[in-house]
Structure 1
Amino acid sequence: EILNSSLVWNHSVTITGLSSGKTYYYNITSCDEAGNCNESGVFSFTTSSSESGGTSDGSSGGGERGSNITACSKIWNKIVSGTEAVMNITREDIGIREIVIKVKKDVRYPKLTVSKLSDIPTKTPLPEGIPYQYLQINNIGLNEDVLEEVNITFRVEKTWINENNLTRDSIKLFRFLDEKWEWKALETWHEREDNTYVYYAAKSPGFSYFVITGINETKEKICENGEKRCYGKEMQECNGTGWVTIKKCEYKCNETTLSCENRSLIVSGTGVCKSGETKCEGKSIMECIEGEWKVKKVCEYGCLNGSCVSKPETEDLSWAFVLGLVAVLGVLVYFGFVRK
């Protein structure tokens, strides 16, 4: 490692002791007074058969580029326990935009380096979903035993989400677990969006290789997250994967207002009625019971103002008249036969 601590715009480093006809790999890290650093990525050059030394000013020298496409770093003089340390990533081609960490104990001269990779390391298993970007976060002095909390903010282009038939909620950040040799999905949530990007945040227990992916959900959605419905006397809400009961109504769940109705005023299929209210329908007395009109009593002679009417007097007179008329006709017929 060659260190030039001068805070100047241009650096020039002379490298000596090189072997002839050999390929050398290098990267350049440049930092400002605040400890914000950027890395060039990995470059290479090959010495000629007669060359014993060379000079590098940060150009690639025509060599091949490694898997680190772009990278940036940050060095802190000290991170105090219980305080937040923030690393902002300004390089536009790196999906991670911010890393916020808390430590369990004071750490002096810690360093983070975030690199965008062209691919995952050889023989590493493929992560789930459609990869958007491979990343690596290296650290000095920030191992899991000193980390209390790590929050990573990243972004994904809207055009990429649409082109891959994904949804906003299908984006996940995966971290590679070296000890298990597998990828683990981190807790990821949507934060905001602008005209070009959708921004997310994720919690991680530490640093390693990462991949931003989109999980293509092929399952048909049962319901939309937050949607509500009435299911009998239960009010239910969709949690994104299915229906869950959020409230049990004592009397009835109103499918129009998606709320519980109380006993005194319940909407029924024929209108609004109050419990205990009565009305007439034909010869029947109807009573409102739990929001529904039910037959309370069938009247023999009719119903009026919610009560049965008594036997009408005109009916008795009409029967007497009919009987009298029959008697008169009988007498006339009798005397007619006698005269003959």
Structure 2
Amino acid sequence: MTWTAVRAGQVLTFKPNSISIPVDDVVFTSKNDISLMVLEVIVHEIKPGSITELENSFNYLEFQPENFTQSDIEGDVEIKFSIEKSWVDENAKDKNSVYLYKYFGDTWNRLETGLINESEEKYTYKATTAFFSYYAIAADEKPEEQAEDEPEAADNGEGEEITFNKIIEPIVEKISEFRWWIVGAGMIVFVILLLVFHNPHKHVDKK
């Protein structure tokens, strides 16, 4: 995009001429009178040149200013960009974990970025920077889903209770039916002694 006869204090707005560029607009203020200013934005699906790759990035943006420098800009530059909700849902921790990064000093620096709007298909964000460089839209990665371990079944001794009931229930029924209190008591004592002293393993004599 080209501006001519720019005056000091004039607010300039860049709007891309292609829908393939995720940038909605770039707004900055000229500090000086400049006869001609040019700004182009190039989208890279993979990292351009020798810059470092940024993990979990949506794409890379290359801002190319011509005939003006950082000293010609008053204050910060505002960059608005939009990305598809489908990408955010699939790759980002959440919709508030998407950021614009600036490549400076051989490293990626996260810029202050905020969600300002959303449509049916896209989220729109705004970030601020001091000047133009390489940028990347990226997000905090979605955490891996951790399956909860199934709790182990507690051993409540139901097996022993069933075995004991099988032995006692016939005796209790016999006592209740015929009221043979003495006989019933004797049978219970007999069963208890049998369970305590009976050894289920046969003794084998050594030859």
Is the contact between residue 92 and residue 139 of structure 2 (CA under 8 Å) also seen in structure 1? no
Could you tell me the TM-score, scaled by structure 1's length? Answer: 0.40
What are the residue-to-residue correspondences of 1:26-41 with 2, within 5 Å?
Answer: none
User: Is 1:132 aligned to 2:70, yes or no?
Assistant: no
How far the C-alpha of 1:125 sits from its partner, in A, is 1.5
How far the C-alpha of 1:88 sits from its partner, in A, is 1.1
User: Is 1:150 aligned to 2:59, yes or no?
Assistant: no
Is the contact between residue 61 and residue 135 of structure 2 (CA under 8 Å) also seen in structure 1? yes
Higher relative contact order, structure no. (Cα contacts within 8 Å, ≥ 6 residues apart): 2
How far the C-alpha of 1:81 sits from its partner, in A, is 1.6
Residue 98 (structure 1) aligned to one of 7, 25, 37: 25
What are the residue-to-residue correspondences of 1:245-264 with 2, within 5 Å?
Answer: none
How far the C-alpha of 1:87 sits from its partner, in A, is 1.1
Between the aligned partners of 2:121 and 2:33, the Cα distance in structure 1 is 39
Is the contact between residue 92 and residue 98 of structure 2 (CA under 8 Å) also seen in structure 1? no
Structure 1 runs not aligned, ≥5 long: 1-73, 219-340
Residue 170 (structure 1) aligned to one of 67, 77, 97: 97
1:108 is aligned to 35
Between the aligned partners of 1:165 and 1:198, the Cα distance in structure 2 is 12
Is the contact between residue 188 and residue 203 of structure 1 (CA under 8 Å) also seen in structure 2? yes
Across the aligned residues of Structure 1 and Structure 2, the Cα RMSD in angstroms comes to 1.7
What are the residue-to-residue correspondences of 1:18-33 with 2, within 5 Å?
Answer: none
Is the contact between residue 79 and residue 103 of structure 1 (CA under 8 Å) also seen in structure 2? yes
Residue 188 (structure 1) aligned to one of 107, 113, 117: 113
Between the aligned partners of 2:18 and 2:108, the Cα distance in structure 1 is 26
Q: 1:124 to 1:85 in 2, by over 3 A?
A: same
Is the contact between residue 100 and residue 113 of structure 2 (CA under 8 Å) also seen in structure 1? yes
Is the contact between residue 90 and residue 97 of structure 1 (CA under 8 Å) also seen in structure 2? no
Deviates more, 1:107-116 or 1:74-83: 74-83
Higher-strand-fraction structure: 1
Q: 1:86 to 1:93 in 2, by over 3 A?
A: same
In structure 1, give the amino acid aligned to 2:124: Y
Other structure's SS at 2:71 match: coil
CA deviation digits over 1:296-317, x for unaligned, max 9?
xxxxxxxxxxxxxxxxxxxxxx
Q: 1:142 to 1:188 in 2, by over 3 A?
A: farther
Q: 1:145 to 1:161 in 2, by over 3 A?
A: same
In structure 2, give the amino acid aligned to 1:211: A
CA deviation digits over 1:258-305, x for unaligned, max 9?
xxxxxxxxxxxxxxxxxxxxxxxxxxxxxxxxxxxxxxxxxxxxxxxx
Deviates more, 1:151-160 or 1:79-88: 79-88
Between the aligned partners of 1:102 and 1:143, the Cα distance in structure 2 is 12
Other structure's SS at 1:110 match: strand
* Ranges of 4+ aligned residues in structure 1 off by more than 6 Å: none
Other structure's SS at 1:116 match: strand
Structure 2 runs not aligned, ≥5 long: 144-207
Could you tell me the TM-score, scaled by structure 2's length? Answer: 0.65
Between the aligned partners of 2:13 and 2:141, the Cα distance in structure 1 is 32
How far the C-alpha of 1:165 sits from its partner, in A, is 4.4
Q: 1:134 to 1:102 in 2, by over 3 A?
A: same
Structure ID, larger Rg: 1
In structure 1, give the amino acid aligned to 2:110: A
Other structure's SS at 2:96 match: helix
1:315 is aligned to none
Between the aligned partners of 1:90 and 1:97, the Cα distance in structure 2 is 10
Q: 1:186 to 1:168 in 2, by over 3 A?
A: same
CA deviation digits over 1:46-65, x for unaligned, max 9?
xxxxxxxxxxxxxxxxxxxx
CA deviation digits over 1:71-127, x for unaligned, max 9?
xxx110122222211111241111111011112211221000011113223432222
